[in-house]
Chains A and B, each alone.
Chain A
Amino acid sequence: NAGVTQTPKFRVLKTGQSMTLLCAQDMNHEYMYWYRQDPGMGLRLIHYSVGEGTTAKGEVPDGYNVSRLKKQNFLLGLESAAPSQTSVYFCASGSSGAHPRTHEQYFGPGTRLTVT
């Protein structure tokens, strides 16, 4: 039982390049989330999904797109990377059995992205 996994762990991009971050969970969770973490800012929600085939915007969605074609996977895309997107990106999933007001989120180990 791997929990939440993220690939890649590290990536360096040049401005204008594109990439996709992959998140996978093996806990059969309905809810999945993408956050970015910046020093002194805590975690900020980029996009989230409440089920297969659904996505919604979070606090800081600009410059990112997401897809949830399979229940276990949640992809985060950067179409044209900018230096402001240099950050650590975390994926999380939420336990389906509990109400989402109270459910625990399980986090992946993160992807450190640098855009030069």
Chain B
Amino acid sequence: AQSVTQLGSHVSVSEGALVLLRCNYSSSVPPYLFWYVQYPNQGLQLLLKYTTGATLVKGINGFEAEFKKSETSFHLTKPSAHMSDAAEYFCAVTRQSGGSNYKLTFGKGTLLTVNP
């Protein structure tokens, strides 16, 4: 069954520092992987997704993620953190749930704190 594991429930960085949020997946079939962001008191919104093709995926707000099959990873990065990046980040993988139905399975989330 497809699933994701996010390493580190809380990551703290300084403003201007590199952001690295880790996600590893397990999947017996080619995975479809997503990163979502949740700002305080809001719903989730899509940052980026990997389906097929280029393994380096660029998303909104300067974030990108690289799909590495050999490492079963899909880590999220941003070269320089801004205060506005403080949020909770969720990695997710699509899982087939029977017939032609598919569902997202989310990781437990990583809370990113950005210090001035």
Contacts and interface: CB of A to CB of B under 8 A. Distances in A.
Given A40-B108, A101-B32, A56 B44 contact: no
Contact of B103 (A45, A108, A110): A45
Interface string A89-112: 010100000001110111111100
Interface size bracket, B side: 20 to 34
Contact of B49 (A41, A48, A56, A104): A104
A90 B94 CA distance: 18
Interface string B83-106: 000000010001011001111101
Contacts of A90: 43-44
Interface string A5-46: 000000000000000000000000000010000001111110
Interface of B: 9, 32, 34, 41-46, 49, 51, 90, 94, 96-97, 100-104, 106-109
6 contacts: A48-B103, A56-B97, A58-B103, A102-B49, A105-B46, A110-B41
Interface of A: 4, 33, 40-45, 48, 50, 56, 58, 90, 92, 100-102, 104-110
